Amino acid sequence: MNILLLNAGSSSLKATLMDSKEGKPLATGLADWAGTVTRYRYAGPDGAERSEDVPWKGHAAAVERFVHDLTRAEPVALPDLARLAAVGHRVVHGGQFTSSVQITPDVRSRLSALVDLAPLHNPPSLETLVAAEKVLPGVPHIAVFDTAFHATLPPQAYTYAVPESWTRDWGIRRYGFHGLSHAYCARRAAEMLGRPADDLRLVICHLGHGCSAAAVRGGKSVDTTMGFTPLDGLVMATRSGSIDPGAVLHVQKRHGLTAEQVETALNRQSGLLGLSGVSADMRQVLSAAGAGNDRARLALEVYTHRVRQAIGALAATLGGIDALVFTAGVGEHSGEVRKRICAGLEFLGLDLDADTNATSRTDADIAARGSRGRILIIATREDVTMLREVVQVLGAK
C-alpha cells in the first residue's frame, strides 16, 4: 500500500509518501513559510532533491503542490491516485482520543473543539485535513495523535491537584505530547541496545522547537513533562514551559494583561527567545553566549538546568535508568547542549564520553565505555510511527 503522511506545523508542512510493505519513503516534500518567502523542497523516487522559492504560502497550497508533484513530476512517484490507500494526519492534541482513528464528520467536530488546547498546532492540522480531503476525495483519512502514546500514564501521573470536577467535567489533566517521536525512539533504543523493550527504563528527551521529556518503562509512557497543553514542562524555543500559575494571575490582575495577551506571550515570546532576546534558534543562542552575551548565556543555563532537572525526576519515577535518549533538532545536533545537560548526571550512572559526543552523528551511543547507563542520540522518525498507526487502523476496518 502507498500511504501519504502529512505533518503540519504552524508555518510548515512535511509530506511523505511511503510504501507500507517496505516502510521506506517513495517521495518527500517540505514547504516552510516561516520567513518572508516560502521555501519548497521535493524529492521523488530517485532521491534527487529540488529546492525553490515559491510565491504561495499556507497548508492548502502546500498540499496541492505536493500532490501535483507526486502525480506529475518525473520520475512519477504516484502514477495513479487509486494506488493511494490512505492519508495519515499528525494531530498534536487528541484530547480523549487514545488511539488513531479514521476521520469522520463526528471526529472532525471533536477535533475542532480541541483547537484552544494546542493553538499553534491543531489549527494547521485541520487546515491540512480540509485541503487534503478536497484534493484526495474518497481516500480514508486517518488522524494519528501525538497524545496517544501517553494514554498509558497512570492516574498519579496524569491527575492534577485541582477540584475533582475540573478533571471529571472539563478534562483538565496531563495528556503529554511528542508521542510519535517518543514511541519511535523507545523502539529504536531497544534495537540499538540489543535488549527487549520490555526490559528497559528510558528517559527520552525530545529537544526541538518544542521540548518534552518522557519516562518510558517496558515500551510504555509512565510520565512526561508536557501537560494539559504543549505549553507545560521544559523551556522551549518560544514557549515558557512550566511557570507558577500565580504569575499568570498576577500579570492579569495587577498589570491588566488579557488572556489572549498572556497566551501570546507564553506561547510565542518566551522560552529561548524571551530569555536571550537574541533568537528562538538554539544555534544562534549558543553563538551569542559564546561571544559573551549574558542574556544568551543565562538562556542556555536555564534551558539545560530544566532538562537536567526533568531527567532526574523521571529517573526517580522509573526507579533507575538504563538509557538516556536525545532526539529532535537540538537533541540530535548540538553536542554542546548534550554536554551541558549530562554534566552532573554521573550519580545516575550516566557518564558521557566527551570526544564521542562531540563527533558523533545519529544513531549513536555516546556514553563512556564504563558507564552503567547508556546515552543515545537517535534521529527521530515520526513518519515511521505514523505509518505503523495508519496501517493498524486500515487493518482493523
Whether 213 and 358 map to the same domain: the answer is yes
Exposure pattern of 70-83 as b/e (b: 16+ CB <10 Å)? beebeeebbeebee
Whether the per-residue pLDDT at 250 is higher than 70: the answer is yes
322: cell is 538504563
Using DSSP's 3-state secondary structure scheme, residue 220 falls into: strand
Residue range of the domain that includes 131? 2-145
Whether 25 and 113 map to the same domain: the answer is yes
Whether 139 and 233 map to the same domain: the answer is no
In this structure, is residue 53 part of a structural domain? yes
In this structure, is residue 386 part of a structural domain? no
In this structure, is residue 292 part of a structural domain? yes
Q: Which residues are catalytic?
A: 146
Whether 105 and 225 map to the same domain: the answer is no
pLDDT tens for 301-320 read: 999 999 999 999 999 999 99
Q: Please provide the size of the chain in residues.
A: 397
Question: Which of 111, 145, 179 lies at the terminal end of a domain, its last residue?
Answer: 145
Whether 209 and 355 map to the same domain: the answer is yes
User: Are 257 and 251 a contacting pair, CB within 8 Å?
Assistant: yes
330: cell is 537540538
In this structure, is residue 132 part of a structural domain? yes
The CATH number of residue 289's host domain is: 3.30.420.40
Whether 202 and 327 map to the same domain: the answer is yes
In this structure, is residue 156 part of a structural domain? no
**Total domains in the fold of the chain:** 2
Taking the CA atoms of 316, 199, 332 and 99 in sequence, report the sign of the dihedral they define: negative
Quick one: pLDDT at residue 395?
Answer: 84
Whether 327 and 199 map to the same domain: the answer is yes
Whether 70 and 215 map to the same domain: the answer is no
- Angle, in degrees to the nearest 10, between helices 382-396 and 179-193: 100
Quick one: pLDDT at residue 397?
Answer: 59
Whether 26 and 138 map to the same domain: the answer is yes
> How many whole angstroms separate alpha carbon 215 and alpha carbon 220?
8
CB burial of residue 46 (10 Å; 0-12, 13-18, 19+): exposed
In this structure, is residue 70 part of a structural domain? yes
Question: Which of 145, 175, 205 lies at the terminal end of a domain, its last residue?
Answer: 145
The DSSP secondary-structure symbol of 336 reads H
Quick one: pLDDT at residue 5?
Answer: 96
Averaged pLDDT score across all residues of the chain: 93
- The terminus-to-terminus CA distance of the chain in angstroms comes to 15
Q: Give the amino acid at 59.
A: H
> How many whole angstroms separate alpha carbon 52 and alpha carbon 6?
20
- Angle, in degrees to the nearest 10, between helices 259-268 and 245-253: 130
Other residues' Cβ atoms within 10 Å of the Cβ of residue 124: 23
Quick one: pLDDT at residue 396?
Answer: 65
Whether 45 and 132 map to the same domain: the answer is yes
The DSSP secondary-structure symbol of 101 reads E
Cα-only R_g, the chain: 21
Whether 215 and 298 map to the same domain: the answer is yes
- Which of 44-48, 114-118, 204-208, 268-272 shows the lowest mean pLDDT across its residues? 114-118
Tell me which residue has cell 559526543.
357
Give me the mean pLDDT over the 61-79 stretch: 93
User: Are 341 and 357 a contacting pair, CB within 8 Å?
Assistant: no
In this structure, is residue 327 part of a structural domain? yes
In this structure, is residue 107 part of a structural domain? yes
In percent, the amount of the chain with pLDDT more than 70 equals 99
267: cell is 506561547
The pTM score is 0.91
- Among 111, 139, 108, 148, residue whose Cα is nearest residue 3: 139
367: cell is 556514553
CA 366 to each of CA 169, 335, 347: distance values in angstroms, whole numbers, following the listed order? 46, 10, 17
Whether 39 and 116 map to the same domain: the answer is yes
pLDDT tens for 323-342 read: 999 999 999 999 999 999 99
